[in-house]
Amino acid sequence: MTVFVLVTGDSDYTPLVRRLREFGKWAVGVGTEATASRRLASVCSEYKFWGTLVAEVDPAARPAVAAAFDIAAAEQLLVRAFEDTARTTLTASAIKSKMVALDSAFDERNYGCLSFRDFLDRFPDRVRRAGNSGSDITLELVRERDRAQGPQAGR
């Protein structure tokens, strides 16, 4: 697979990225959250934020990066990923893939998490471990009505 990396947040590159994707290329955008065009990020295969990449090599930067991202928006994306599928349980890898498909800029490291499982652990009232599927875990969404009834609801 051929990968193209564009270090820009400029929406003028959107047609180029669309064309690359039409030809089956993987297009990764890199930019800052403050200046990245949502339009450009939405057409990229993945969109990475510069601060998150810096935090990978400089752990001292992680708190500042995590503070820049809205965890409530990430929770909404997590719920939407579940709701957009017809299944009641999904593997963690399937959920992450769906989240990236819905928002190419999603990266658990944006929220200060070192792994997707760490990210999921931040939402114990939204997702519940349902079992295993090989080396992956299966999850189910905790519905609003179950959340209102308490931790034993839905079990």
Q: What is the CATH number of the domain that holds 45?
A: 3.40.50.1010
8 A C-beta contact, residue 31 and residue 8: yes
Q: How far apart are CA 84 and CA 108, in angstroms?
A: 20
Q: 81 and 143, same structural domain?
A: yes
| pLDDT tier for residue 155 given thresholds of 50, 70 and 90 | very low
pTM of this structure: 0.76
Q: How far apart are CA 125 and CA 144, in angstroms?
A: 9
Query: Per the structure, how many domains does the chain have?
Result: 2
pLDDT tens per residue across span 101-148: 999 999 999 998 889 999 999 999 999 998 888 889 999 999 765 555
- Give residue 112's pLDDT: 86
Structural domain boundaries enclosing 92: 69-155
